[in-house]
Amino acid sequence: MKAVVTGGTGCVGYHVIRELLLQGWKVTVFHRETSDISMFGTFGQNVNLVTVDLYDYEATLNALPVNVDAVFHLAANVSHHKDRNQWNDNVLVTRNLLQASLEKGVKRFIFTSTAAARFARNSSSESNLMSEIPCGYAYTKRLAEIEAMKAVDQGLDVVILQPTIVLGEYDFHHNYSQLFENTILTRLRAALPGSLEFADAKKIAQAHVAAYHNGMSDSFYVLGGEYLSWFELQKIIANVTGLKPPLFTLPKWFLYVIALMHKIGHVLFRVPPQMTTDLIWLLGYEDPVQRPDDRRAIRDLGYDRSMTDIRTVCRKMHKWIKQNS
């Protein structure tokens, strides 16, 4: 079996590569010229690394091998402040990969979106989408889903996965591993407001490979996890790491004040904002995965979010962070 993977330097993408190799696949990883690919050294000759500009359709087409069984497209721009490249990274790149897959006869295309895009699953109007999904990352992911549906109409076999917040080892981009550090939140003994579903990166990766074998074409699968408040998650992390646990939850209005201050700092001094209105929405939408989505993921992918044990995930994640600090 032959697979092409994008986004392999990310936490979920790296887990997907490991799972594919465990199952005997031959893996080609597309990466940017500027990507740090040192983490692939442990794979040796088992992974073929290909530098490609995915903005360029011809370059994408030429790089895509023939007789590919699956393209796993996980690459994404997850920025939560206004990023002029986000549309290109999340929509144009997806469009180019879909069209190249059609032309090269790829058997199945697995597209990794986000669970936040599910709130506008029945909407395809760009003007309506921004009001339904007030977050650039989720908005452009929904636009990419629409591109995927267009490719389905042209004959491509596509499965769309929508994971919630994913935690796990191999967080090379230092996304949620920040929660395991002595940050200002820890020093304030404060927790973020809201509740979300937190998923296990390893189980999410297994669901990706299962989507190739058993997923229904032209289908969406929401991949949830353990439903926790940020207060509960931060208490678990404190127990694992020895950091001080939170004592209270910050009010949401306070985050908006911080976001405004960060926005002013970005405008005046070009300092990248750590808190934005996009991020506030994304981290606190408090909508558990619905039962029909649960049943579909269990039936087709063998993915049961009730089996997620975030305490174990956090212990493994902390151990990896210490080993790679």
Model confidence over 87-101: pLDDT tens digits?
999 999 999 999 999
Return the closest-CA partner of residue 160 out of 223, 105, 235.
223
pLDDT in tens, 95-146: 999 999 999 999 999 999 999 999 877 776 777 787 888 899 999 999 999 9
pTM of the model: 0.96
Q: What order of strands is seen across the sheet that includes strand 70-73?
A: 47-51, 26-31, 2-6, 70-73, 108-112, 158-163, 219-223
Q: How far apart are CA 171 and CA 301, in angstroms?
A: 24
Domains of the chain: 2-170+196-227+288-308 (3.40.50.720)
pLDDT in tens, 272-300: 899 999 999 998 877 888 888 999 999 99
